Amino acid sequence: MDVEEVVEKVLQKIRPSDEERAFVQSLMDELKSTAEETIESLGLDVKPYFVGSLAKDTYLAGDHDVDLFLAFPLDTPLEELRSEGLKLGKAIAEKLDSYEVAYAEHPYVRARYRGVSVDLVPCYNVRDWRDVRTAVDRSILHTRWVNEHIRGKNDEVRLLKRFLKGINAYGSEIYVRGFSGYLAEILVIKYGSFLEVVKKADFILRQKIIDPADWLRREPELALKTVKRETEEDKPLIVIDPVDPRRNVSANLSWEKYGRFYFKSHQFLEKPSPEFFFPPKKERGNYLEELRKRGTALVTLLIEVPDMVDDLLFPQLERSARGFEKALQREGFRVLGWNVGRANKAFIMLEVDREKREKIRIKPGPEFFTQRGWDFYRKNTKVWLIGKRLYSEKTVRESVVEVIFELLKKNQVALGKGIRDAIKEAEVLLNYVPKELKEEAYLFLSREKWNLRG
Amino acid sequence: MDVEEVVEKVLQKIRPSDEERAFVQSLMDELKSTAEETIESLGLDVKPYFVGSLAKDTYLAGDHDVDLFLAFPLDTPLEELRSEGLKLGKAIAEKLDSYEVAYAEHPYVRARYRGVSVDLVPCYNVRDWRDVRTAVDRSILHTRWVNEHIRGKNDEVRLLKRFLKGINAYGSEIYVRGFSGYLAEILVIKYGSFLEVVKKADFILRQKIIDPADWLRREPELALKTVKRETEEDKPLIVIDPVDPRRNVSANLSWEKYGRFYFKSHQFLEKPSPEFFFPPKKERGNYLEELRKRGTALVTLLIEVPDMVDDLLFPQLERSARGFEKALQREGFRVLGWNVGRANKAFIMLEVDREKREKIRIKPGPEFFTQRGWDFYRKNTKVWLIGKRLYSEKTVRESVVEVIFELLKKNQVALGKGIRDAIKEAEVLLNYVPKELKEEAYLFLSREKWNLRG
């Protein structure tokens, strides 16, 4: 199949049908009226805006969650915006099918209406970046900018988004660290088409800085500060936000996800196939078989985490996994890799080189002719010299599970703050995982989870 | 038992009896006549000198090997000294009971006479250090200096020598790196008695430089050069040879052996006992039991070495053991310790953390967006990213024995030059040693071989 055929085939699946468009339009109309009525009835000075992929017409077929932003005047105090915003959200949601309150920087209402998820998010009615006060305020500006510049390339954005999803590089959430929808839109606007973006996977990385709104000329001081900051943090890409020179749109994009895009783009151009957009489910394997073949051991911590969103949980799990890696390394185990996630419970998987270490650890001591040398000599029943330094040995726990328990008891693992206590209570499993983690364990151990050539 | 009692008791054992003295005297008289007659009959201008502990009357009871040096005139060419010296040695030895030719810097004759070993060593008849041309030439000067300064402290030297033997710190051979007899004599001459030397174990180390012949004043330039050189090499002690300002008498003394002397002196003063001089045989243990307790593995290489003196062999075995330590460490085994020696065959023992390592090794690769990144990506069927760096894995041999064979085959172990080929042919045993090495294996694994508190 050549590229054009693939693209056409994929487009048929991801371009919303006329029917779906009509449904979305009626949905937005109804929501808008409901919002306006409610605002009026409450006597508020608030403007409702649709933002996100629906508002930009870059949503994928079947994927039409609504983001309805409730924009308060700039002179509203933050506390009032929080409370009045939530109150207004609830009042609107009362007229929809159901709702719950969710928490990000501020609380907001997540409602359902006609089978669709509708987020009702309070924000400030900003005119430009100078007005931005909360993290969500820019969305209105983003929507406006994309709509002004997209010039009918909406399907190209759809292709790129679907491609990024297919290769597992989509989503700017902190636990994904991939491409955001807005970043995909900017890339298409900048380079003209899905195919051009994919062809430029290497060029974009080397060019490093993308500045579609010409901020480096218009606001050189601020824009350069952004470039400097992001360069120092060694980000793969610096995309100066067209609506805010202080911000790198791809600040959360990791090297791993850019790398996936880099290699998969290359593979796609070499051998185009719809499978890049809709990958077949990976073949399942047996994690126990994998363990046997590798001659390693799998330690799994099952963690009962407090009610915590993935955005908060995942970085903490990752930090804790790295903590275990270091602590176990110090204790004489080699950690070949780790994997974190959430199934029923949160989990940390560690692949270690063995179940049991030797029972003896050699303790290097001080030089023999010092006071500390004498202390060491007296404290140990077995001491010997190598050069001028004393050595001794001690008996230690063998099993990696026991070692983990001991490390936790002695607070010798650097753990994510918010889950420290939960980890101390974790179940620690050796070479065994519950049913719901079997596939995860296999994908981790076989590295198929991350294999770029898979 | 107090110190005096111990000393008296030990002296009774190590001081030669009148009978032994008479035997030694008659032996020396006979040997001297035989040598002189032979020299005359060959028409040589050679002077025979007794050197060593017999000549200095510092030998231990029952330990009276003879060193008879055959001193040639200074104008004898070196080649002539070698050939004529050996010829003369043989001619003398023909009149004794039996002999063989031994090899040090020069060949010499080792004869037996009346049950005693007699070394017949050619050298130059040097008057002082300026004349010294071969390594053995100083012996005549040493003997003379000791006899001029010992002032009846001969038994004190005997005590110190026996003490050093008992604590396993005696002998300046390269594979022992302990105290030489001459060093013991100098220490007694300098500090007055065995007990004073033992009491000054700490002081001597801190003082660092001993200069009994006042070379630092008499030949400051040469003596300071010696001090500088030996300080840079971090020797525990610098004893400027009373007969040669260019030489550190304790150049071969290791920190380990000084450390033994240091701690054992302390223990002896705290709780005097003849056992320091005559240690009871260490309790035997079972090396397999020890292995089980330690949870480690023992690898033993049995090496059929070419005919090689210990002086040459041991440093090569040590270098090779360190080579194995490094190479195995690189391969993922931890080496807890090593031990070398010679029983029937030469051996290298390595205590490693496990018999088998994991079958998988993670291979870190280059950054992904480079040419080397692409090569790495293409060469491996499983690749993934951590940050901007590619990773892959490979399957490796598990067993430490197989790994050793592979390392040897690929020349990836730094081995002692003279035994490289022999090591490549070595038998490699895992957790098993032949009968004659059982005790050695136990003493090594338990560290009783080196335990300062044992």
Q: Indicate if the pLDDT at residue B281 is higher than 90.
A: no
Q: Choose the mutation target among B385, B400, B443, B451 for the interface with A, i.e. most A CBs under 10 Å.
A: B385
**Residues B347 and B303 sit within 8 Å (Cβ to Cβ):** yes
Contact flag B384-A451 (C-beta cutoff 8 Å): yes
Q: Which helix (H) or strand (E) holds A6?
A: helix A3-14
Residue A198 confidence (pLDDT):
97
State whether B256 and A385 contact (CB < 8 Å): yes
Residue B310 pLDDT grade (very low, low, confident, very high; cuts 50, 70, 90): confident
Q: Quick check: B362 and B393 in contact, CB under 8 A?
A: yes
Residue B288 has pLDDT above 90, yes or no: yes
Count interface pairs A-B at CB distance under 8 A.
Answer: 127
Is residue A234 left, alpha or beta, with left meaning phi > 0 and alpha meaning psi from -120 to 50?
Answer: left
Token couple for A188? 């298409």
**Cβ contact, residue pair A332, B353, below 8 Å:** yes
Choose the closest CB to B255 out of A202, A377, A388: A388
Nearby residues of A443 by Cβ (< 8 Å), 6 or more positions away: A282, A449
Write b or e for each residue in B354-381: b if 16 or more Cβ atoms lie within 10 A of its Cβ, otherwise e. bbbbbbbbbeebbebbeeebeebbeebe
Kindly determine whether residue A382 and residue B205, on different chains, have CB atoms separated by under 8 Å: no
Instruction: Provide Rg for chain A, Cα atoms.
Output: 27
Q: Which burial class, exposed, middle or buried, applies to A83 when counting CB atoms under 10 A from its CB (0-12, 13-18, 19+)? A: middle
Question: What domains, with CATH codes, occur in chain B?
Answer: 15-136 (3.30.460.10), 150-276 (1.10.1410.30), 287-357+396-445 (3.30.70.590), 360-395 (3.30.70)
Q: Which residue of A has its CA nearest to B446?
A: A382
Which of A385, A394, A396 would best serve as a mutation to test chain B binding (most B beta carbons within 10 A)? Answer: A385
Distances (CA, A) of B320 to A318, B301, B308, B332, B410: 43, 11, 16, 18, 15
Q: If you measure CA to CA, which chain B residue comes closest to A203?
A: B369
With a cut of 80, say whether residue B104 has pLDDT above it.
no
| CA of B193 vs chain A CAs: smallest distance (Å) | 23
Radius of gyration of chain B (CA): 27
Shortest Cα distance from A49 to chain B (angstroms)? 38
Q: b/e string for B236-271 if b means 16 or more Cβ within 10 A? A: bbbbbbbbbbebbbbbbbbbbbbbbbbbbbbebeee
CA distance A349 to chain B (A): 16
Short-list A155, A163, A164, A186, CA closest to A249:
A186
Cross-chain Cβ contact A369/B262 below 8 Å: yes
Q: Cβ of A354 and B359 within 8 Å?
A: no
pTM for the structure as a whole: 0.81
CA atoms within 13 A on the CB side of B153: 24
Which residues from A are below 8 Å from B353, CB to CB?
A: 332, 357-358
Q: Do A383 and B453 touch (CB under 8 A)?
A: yes
pLDDT confidence tier of residue B71, bands split at 50, 70 and 90: very high
Q: Give B407→chain A minimum CA distance, Å.
A: 21
Taking contacts as CB-CB distances below 8 angstroms, the residues of chain B near A204 are none
pLDDT tens, residue by residue, A265-281? 999 999 999 999 999 98
B212 or A307: whose pLDDT is higher? B212
User: Does the structure show a pLDDT above 90 at B273?
Assistant: yes
Inter-residue contact B242 to B270 (CB < 8 Å): no
pLDDT of residue A93: 96
Q: How much is the mean pLDDT over chain B?
A: 94
Digit-coded pLDDT (tens) for B116-169? 999 999 999 999 999 999 889 999 999 999 999 999 999 999 999 999 999 999
What is the pLDDT, as a whole number, of residue A396? 94
Instruction: Compute CA B249 distance to the chain's CA centroid, rounded to the nearest angstrom.
Output: 14
Written as six digits, the tokens of A148 are 């002004």
CA distance A197 to chain B (A): 17
User: Does the beta-carbon distance from B453 to A206 stay under 8 Å?
Assistant: no
The reported pLDDT for the residue numbered B418 is 87
The answer to whether the Cβ–Cβ distance between B262 and A453 falls below 8 Å is: no
The interface pTM score, or ipTM, of the predicted complex is 0.88
- With CA atoms as reference, report the closest residue to A28 among A158, A118, A144, A90: A118
SS3 B319: helix
Point out which residues pair with A48 in neighbouring strands: A70
Of A295, A334, A377, the CB nearest to B359: A295
Strands (DSSP E) contained in A242-312 are 244-248, 297-303
CA–chain centroid gap for A439, Å, is 21
Given a contact cutoff of 8 angstroms between Cβ atoms, the answer to whether B384 and A445 are in contact is no
- pLDDT higher at B106 or B152: B152
pLDDT over 70 percentage in chain B = 100
Q: Do the chains contact at A262 and B369, CB–CB below 8 Å?
A: yes
Q: Which residue in the set B294, B358, B393 is minimally distant from A358, CB to CB?
A: B294
Instruction: Identify any residues that bridge with A51 across adjacent strands, giving them in sequence order.
Output: A67
Expressed in percent and rounded to 5, the helix, strand and coil fractions of chain B are 45, 20, 35
CA neighbor of A244 nearest in space, from A153, A331, A139, A149? A139
Which residues of chain B are within 8 Å of residue A399 when distances are taken between CB atoms?
A: none
pLDDT in tens, B314-354: 999 999 999 999 999 999 999 999 999 998 899 999 999 99
> Which residue of chain A has the CA closest to B334?
A332
Instruction: Inspect the interface and report whether the beta carbons of A262 and B293 lie closer than 8 Å.
Output: no
The amino acid sitting at B305 is: V
What digits encode the pLDDT tens for the residues B74-103? 999 999 999 999 999 999 999 999 999 988
Q: Are A227 and A238 in contact (CB under 8 A)?
A: yes
Q: Which of B382, B386, B444, B449 to mutate to test the interface with A (most CBs of A within 10 A)?
A: B382
Q: What is the DSSP string of B34-102?
A: HHHHHHHHTT---EEEEEHHHHHT-PPTT---EEEEEEEPTTS-HHHHHHHHHHHHHHHHTTSSEEEEE
The pLDDT value given to residue B305:
83
Extract the residue ranges of chain A whose pLDDT is less than 50. none
Q: Do residues A68 and A49 make contact, with C-beta atoms less than 8 angstroms apart?
A: yes
B289's tokens: 């039991």
Whole-number pLDDT of residue A372? 96
* pLDDT value of position B15: 96
